[in-house]
Amino acid sequence: MKVGVLALQGDVREHVSALIACGIDPIQVRRVNELAEVDALVLPGGESTTIVQLAQIFGLFEPIKNRIASGMPVYGSCAGMILLADTILDAKEGQKTFGGLDITVRRNAFGRQVDSFESDITFADGSTDLIKAVFIRAPWVEKIGANVQVLASVDSHPVAVRSQKLLATSFHPELTGDHRIHRYFIEEVAKPALEKVK
């Protein structure tokens, strides 16, 4: 399985390292031909408006949107969650997303940079071990569609959600050295989805 990391802006390196730790040899995606090589994609944390602008400049916006719509497994962390959301609140005027995930997300919901925090939370992958979650100007999910499953919450706000082939977290597992979320994406989301296609 070839997994890409959208490498336009944000914490690309950290996602690359987390995927390598999961036994994947990731491809950094900056061009359409690199996107065409991958079976699944990770959208990093960073600044969602900047990532969209760069995707448009690099001619990747529509191709990524179309791949998601046609069923490519994608994991988005923080800004990546915003990029997957069908609807954003507190968006920059005219801010677009790739969409595909039937959720409404509020940007910077937990406050500004100074309000970044860490919290040990449960993640519904069958384990009772807590995950250390790092939130940096993080969004939360305000509304979910019928097919969306909540995998983790903080103060009753969903912060990890899944809808079939799409996984999103408001927090940054790529920053903690705990690769459980990346492993979950590879093993439970991407692999089964790609096996079905074969």
Cβ 94 to ligand GLN shortest distance, Å:
14
Place of tokens 């500004």: 112
Cβ proximity to ligand GLN: between 16 and 136 the closer is: 136
Among 14, 15, 22, 172, the one annotated catalytic: 172
Place of tokens 């999961």: 22
Single residue of 24, 35, 42, 79 touching ligand GLN by CB under 6 A? 79
Contact stretch for ligand GLN (CB under 6 A) within 77-85, 151-159, 174-182, 184-192? 77-85
With contact defined as beta carbons under 8 Å apart, do 85 and 103 qualify? yes
For residue 190, count CB atoms less than 10 angstroms from its CB and return exposed for 0-12, middle for 13-18, buried for 19 or more.
buried
Calpha distance 27→124 (Å, rounded):
28
Write the interaction track for ligand GLN spanning residues 135-154; mark x where CB under 6 A is met and - where it is not.
Answer: -xx-----------------
Cβ 120 to ligand GLN shortest distance, Å:
19
Q: 132: how many CB neighbours lie within 10 A of its CB?
A: 14
Cβ 47 to ligand GLN shortest distance, Å:
5
With contact defined as beta carbons under 8 Å apart, do 30 and 5 qualify? no
Whether 78 is catalytic: yes
Whether 37 is catalytic: no
Sequence-ordered list of residues with C-beta below 8 angstroms from that of 114, at least 6 positions apart, any chain: none
Binding residues for ligand GLN, how many (CB under 6 A)?
11
Calpha distance 43→47 (Å, rounded):
11
Among 14, 15, 22, 174, the one annotated catalytic: 174
Contact stretch for ligand GLN (CB under 6 A) within 22-30, 78-86, 160-168, 190-198? 78-86
Single residue of 108, 119, 122, 153 touching ligand GLN by CB under 6 A? 108
Write the interaction track for ligand GLN spanning residues 40-59; mark x where CB under 6 A is met and - where it is not.
Answer: -----xxxx-----------
Calpha distance 3→29 (Å, rounded):
10
Calpha distance 20→87 (Å, rounded):
32
Judged by the rule CB under 6 A, the positions of this chain that interact with ligand GLN are: 45-48, 78-79, 82, 107-108, 136-137
Instruction: Indicate which residues carry an active-site annotation.
Output: 78, 172, 174
